[in-house]
Structure 1
Amino acid sequence: MCITRNNKMDSDALKATVGEAFAKQFGRQAQAIVTAPGRVNLLGEHTDYNGGFVLPMPLTLEICVAIGSGLKPGWAKLYSQNFDTSAEVDLAGDKADEWTDFILGCFKLSEQNPDLTAGYCIAVGSTLPMGAGISSSAALEVATLRAIAALAGVDPDPVAIAKTARKVENEFIGMPCGIMDQFASSVGTRNMALFLDTQSLDYELAPLIPDHKIITLHSGVTHKLTDGSYEQRVKECNSACEKLGIGLLRDVGVADLDRINAIGGVEAKRARHIVTDNQRVLDGVAALKARDAQAFGRLMSESHVSQKDDYEITVEETDELVDVAVQLGALGARQTGGGFGGSIVALVKDQDVDRWCDAMTSRYPQTKVLAIT
């Protein structure tokens, strides 16, 4: 049996565990405890910072933040339950290239304008693995912003939370990402795909296909998007825009592929991926609504080839996993997330889920099934 279906800590259990850790660490009860989910992206990779379309969905894997007042004015005392490590952060300070930066950035940019001269205690716990390509950083940002709002007695607008979380990434962390991850974590609904136009922020929930499961499988290769590869792709897309005389790659479509190919070089490859993946998102939403599993699976596999050949963000391990996933019965599969490792996502018939999971994890012991939706 595929044991990953069981023994998953639900939100209430995670909140209880992190609340206990908070009390043990700080000697008092938390005043607010909130969660935010990670996400898996089904179609539309790197399209968000190009103003394009994306199709993610939230996972049951979450990050939990417990928050309360502290005794040291101007400082936040932090505790990570997963790593059993503590830290103190000067709320008037700058980033330190540590996990604490995501929390500090939220305090500085939150719409609730928390008092940075006050003291805070925060405990963090997670069922969401880091470096798996399923948005642990976005979930931490969304959860922290929710916690700050809860402490202030405010019920925040989910879209506003997503916008602020992206601002933390862009302006404080220095990662030039789009808004997909934060939006999926803050606005998404479990067991539904989220179709998002990242230019207008118009969105629509789309049903998953009955009698099929979306399986997220960690490749065992941890990715890190702060090594410059992600930023380089952003620069290459901007260069493609300059050569095409447009503002965003969203401004061209599949009808413009001849024009895109004519600019040549790496810019043509990057633009070709963005344009074709935008179209795959639109076609994918139609396939979900039509309950056409074969078509949706085919789009997933085509997206992986585009990531591999045109955007060049896959690695040998994920390429092999995607190929074997289909050989073993998946209707389609692709690398998901920012790239350079992380996870793959596959579409599998209900009747094949246990056999498929067992076959993949037996053949590749370094892999782990993270979620079945």
Structure 2
Amino acid sequence: MTADAAAAYEQHFGRAPELTTYAPGRVNLLGEHTDYNGGYVLPMPLKGLGVFIAVGRGPAPGVVEAYSDTFNASETRKITDGKEGRWSDYVLGCLKAVAQEEIAETGLRVTLITTLPMGAGLSSSAALEVASIRAASELFGKPISPVEIAVKARAVENGFVGMPCGIMDQFASSVGTPGNALFLNTRTLDYQPAHLPDGHSFVIVHSGVSHQLTEDGYATRVAECNAACEALGVEMLSDLGPDDLDRLSGIADLLARRTRHVITDNQRVLDGLDALKAGNMVLFGQLMNASHASQRDDYEITVPETDALVEAALQAGAIGARQTGGGFGGSIVVLVPDAAVETVGQSLVDSFAKARVLAVT
């Protein structure tokens, strides 16, 4: 795919790129909407599903020419531009964060190819941000560590694009290793790889319902969590643990349910990490099931299609299943014994006209 990105660059701009780079998407196994609350998450980068970029200096100082081979669409921006609500905002914001002065002098040309379906809940935007920062830092000789890349990418999405997300997606894409989960404390940025035991696989299934987080309830959930912090007198909901659940009876029911999800999903991440270390995939599956129920009932970010897919996956032989990503559509992640991967995947595709298997770990 990097070769394809380079070929698209040469075909579109009439010359070879100076370099190519790549960043993977991610699936989140446990810990949903906990990252902007300073909590724990357990994502996994996806091998082969990501964003592939080719770049080179351009002929016009300060001008960014961006071409998406996936969408067959071109956009031309100035490095001094602000957000305009276009796909190139993600690229432009990252370029400004890393090499605005250099691009003001040389200009830049970019082509990209993505193998991540838009709106699938697999962090296509974070992968685009990480790949863009990597490309600019390498092209202009400005080394940035993987952790710093994640921090900058999140800052772009928060401050330039206007999406109040946490850092999980960018961190998983920049720091993680495909094939391994990544345990992350989003408040301290302490992290450790989490090996996945043999004998089981995670199957990612798109529900067919695409989401657009900047247009749905994501920002509302962030605001509700902030209101819950104020009501409970804490800086972040990650200040609370299971022993604080009794305190929730003293605040509004909606805020209590949002808080309960964050507290319990934080604990599920910790328990899930222990389960992986012990090779206890039955327990891990139970934690996934509980996480989905919490997303559905307390955080209210699932949709009928993902609820039905989760239930059907469990009936077909999955050990665990849950909606993954920001919610309001997108994909589910299913834990399946290796021997049942094909059977479970085919059952879901046969039963749901819009469902499709995107990846198997």
Counterpart contact for 1:170–1:177, Cα < 8 Å: yes
3-state SS, counterpart of residue 185 of structure 1: helix
* Corresponding residue for residue 291 of structure 1: 279
Alpha-carbon displacement from aligned partner over 1:70-94 (angstroms, at most 9, x marks no partner): 1111111111001111110111111
3-state SS, counterpart of residue 64 of structure 2: strand
* Corresponding residue for residue 98 of structure 2: 110
Alpha-carbon displacement from aligned partner over 1:206-254 (angstroms, at most 9, x marks no partner): 1112100011100000011011411100010000011101100000111
Corresponding position: 1:359 with 2:347 = yes
Alpha-carbon displacement from aligned partner over 1:320-340 (angstroms, at most 9, x marks no partner): 000111000110000000000
Residue 2 (structure 2) aligned to one of 10, 15, 30: 15
* Corresponding residue for residue 254 of structure 2: 266
3-state SS, counterpart of residue 214 of structure 1: strand
In 2, the alpha carbon distance for the partners of 1:318 and 1:128 equals 19
Counterpart contact for 1:33–1:147, Cα < 8 Å: yes
In 1, the alpha carbon distance for the partners of 2:103 and 2:76 equals 17
Corresponding position: 1:54 with 2:41 = yes
Corresponding position: 1:34 with 2:21 = yes
Deviation at 1:117, TM superposition (A): 3.7
In 2, the alpha carbon distance for the partners of 1:114 and 1:179 equals 27
* Corresponding residue for residue 218 of structure 2: 230
* Corresponding residue for residue 129 of structure 1: 117
Alpha-carbon displacement from aligned partner over 1:260-315 (angstroms, at most 9, x marks no partner): 23313211010000000000000000000000011000000100000000000000
Q: State how many pairs are aligned.
A: 360
Q: 4+ residue runs of structure 1 moved beyond 6 angstroms?
A: none
In the superposition, the TM-score normalised over structure 2's length comes to: 0.98
* Corresponding residue for residue 215 of structure 1: 203
Counterpart contact for 2:17–2:54, Cα < 8 Å: yes
3-state SS, counterpart of residue 222 of structure 1: coil
Counterpart contact for 1:75–1:117, Cα < 8 Å: no
Counterpart contact for 1:64–1:143, Cα < 8 Å: yes
Corresponding position: 1:372 with 2:342 = no
* Corresponding residue for residue 9 of structure 1: none
For residues 86-97 of structure 1, the aligned pairs below 5 Å read 86-97=74-85
In 2, the alpha carbon distance for the partners of 1:57 and 1:155 equals 25
For residues 120-269 of structure 1, the aligned pairs below 5 Å read 120-269=108-257
Indicate the percent of aligned positions where both proteins have the same amino acid.
Answer: 54
Counterpart contact for 2:229–2:235, Cα < 8 Å: yes
Residue 58 (structure 2) aligned to one of 53, 59, 70: 70
Letter in 2 for 1:47: T
In the superposition, the TM-score normalised over structure 1's length comes to: 0.95
In 2, the alpha carbon distance for the partners of 1:195 and 1:230 equals 23
Letter in 2 for 1:90: K
Counterpart contact for 2:79–2:103, Cα < 8 Å: no
For structure 2, which runs of at least 5 residues remain unmatched after alignment? Answer: none
In 1, the alpha carbon distance for the partners of 2:311 and 2:343 equals 17
In 2, the alpha carbon distance for the partners of 1:83 and 1:174 equals 23
Alpha-carbon displacement from aligned partner over 1:102-151 (angstroms, at most 9, x marks no partner): 01100111278543242111000011111000000000000000000110
Counterpart contact for 1:58–1:190, Cα < 8 Å: yes
Letter in 1 for 2:42: L
In 1, the alpha carbon distance for the partners of 2:33 and 2:99 equals 27
- 1:53–1:112 Cα change, 3 Å: farther
Give the root-mean-square deviation of aligned CA atoms: 1.1
- 1:194–1:346 Cα change, 3 Å: same
Counterpart contact for 2:97–2:152, Cα < 8 Å: yes
Counterpart contact for 1:318–1:344, Cα < 8 Å: yes
In 2, the alpha carbon distance for the partners of 1:144 and 1:172 equals 14
In 2, the alpha carbon distance for the partners of 1:113 and 1:201 equals 29
* Corresponding residue for residue 340 of structure 1: 328
Deviation at 1:179, TM superposition (A): 0.2
Alpha-carbon displacement from aligned partner over 1:147-193 (angstroms, at most 9, x marks no partner): 00110134420000000000001110111110000000000011111
In 2, the alpha carbon distance for the partners of 1:113 and 1:361 equals 49
